[in-house]
A = this chain, B = another copy of it.
Amino acid sequence: MMGSSIPRQLSLNALEPIVIDLLDLQQELTPSFVPVRSLPTPLEFMRQVHTNFPVIYRGAALNWPALSDRRWSKQYLLDTLKDTIVTVAETPFGNADAPLDGTFVQPHTSQLPFPVFVNNLLDQNADSVCYMQSQNNNMPTEFPQLVDDVQMDISWATEALNSKPEAVNLWIGSSRSTTSLHKDPYENLHVQILGQKVFKLVSPAEHICVKESMLKKATYQKSSAGFNLIAEGERQPWPTVDPDEIDSSDQWQSRVRVLEVTLNPGDMLYLPALWYHKVSQVSDTEGLCCSVNYWYDMDFTGPLWPFANFVRGVTNLLTGDEHNDNIADSGRS
């Protein structure tokens, strides 16, 4: 039943104009920048989610206690969390969960007293780059002392999406760490508290431009002698294109449209489900970059998930390596 017994051949050239149409349509029908809007009603936010396009809510969190009286600072966090043990990603170059020479490298993970973590963060000559990036709903579970300084959900988003956030995460890092291009199956609201974050965004329609590959996984192991990479048996599909280093001679990279957003303290970014994002950080004058994000479940019953998965499967045929056969099934992990 799976096709005729004589395998019909199709030139890859037949697929290319269809992919180019997709890129052109996406880029023609949407803005070439991320719009700035005032805070939405639940209905306005639901329309934004439907559009699956990012938007900036400037100053959305300026009245939160963390910001309204400049409550959060290095000293405030050190005082409040002096007895707290935190989970910290450690890497040699600030490259947690990132492609490196054809390998997908994951960080060494440590449990450190918060003051030790901050000392490392502020030491430009430390032998490891630390980033508190655990993304496991750490805000209520690990930092109950800070909960009243921020919000535990974004009320208009909760009402729009008819559910509480799946996770509320506190991120503390510095200019030394960068999050490599990737996507998440969540509607994401990202609120900057200290320092700046710079997002480079690529739409799900442009999957072919980010050259997803099945990378061998490896994990950093830190010892007194430094970092070693320990190979794992599995592979991980991951975009291998760096939006800051586009190869304009590559037929697909040259077609990508990277949208750039800089978040200042109090700003909120709506980052739609399945959008690729690379995130760089700029420390504040005390050396910290700190934000809180809210992950809401995306609607898996709508067309975005199966259609984006289809785009991914088809376009990987055009850019793929020999391991890409496994990609289509591994996207939801």
Contacts and interface: CB of A to CB of B under 8 A. Distances in A.
B18 A12 contact: no
Contacts of A251: 1-3
A9 B13 CA distance: 8
B317 A29 contact: no
A14 B303 contact: no
A301 interface: yes
A51 B317 contact: no
Contacts of A15: 10, 314, 317
Nearest to A43: B43
Interface in A7-56: 7-19, 21-22, 25-26, 29-30, 42-43, 46-47, 49-53
Number of identical protomers: 2
A204 interface: yes
A3 B12 CA distance: 8
B13 A51 contact: no
B25 A306 contact: yes
Interface string A251-267: 10000000000000000
Interface residues of A, number: 56
B299 A21 contact: no
A57 to B, nearest CB: 19
Contacts of A29: 300-301, 305-306
20 contacts: A2-B13, A2-B251, A3-B12, A7-B11, A9-B10, A17-B328, A18-B314, A18-B328, A25-B309, A29-B300, A29-B305, A29-B306, A43-B160, A46-B46, A47-B299, A51-B301, A303-B303, A307-B307, A307-B310, A310-B311
Contacts of A14: 317
Given A9-B11, A9-B12, A43-B160, A303 B314 contact: no
A72 to B, nearest CB: 33
Interface of A: 1-3, 7-19, 21-22, 25-26, 29-30, 42-43, 46-47, 49-53, 159-160, 162, 203-205, 251, 299-311, 313-314, 317, 328-329
| Most chain B beta-carbon neighbours within 10 Å: one of A8, A303, A314 | A303
Contact of A21 (B8, B42, B313): B313
| Most chain B beta-carbon neighbours within 10 Å: one of A16, A29, A53 | A29
B205 A307 contact: yes
A23 to B, nearest CB: 9
Contacts of A8: 11-12
Contact of A328 (B21, B205, B301, B308): B21
| Most chain B beta-carbon neighbours within 10 Å: one of A29, A50, A311 | A50
Contacts of A205: 303, 306-307, 310
A313 B204 CA distance: 18
A164 to B, nearest CB: 16
Nearest to A205: B306
Nearest to A272: B303
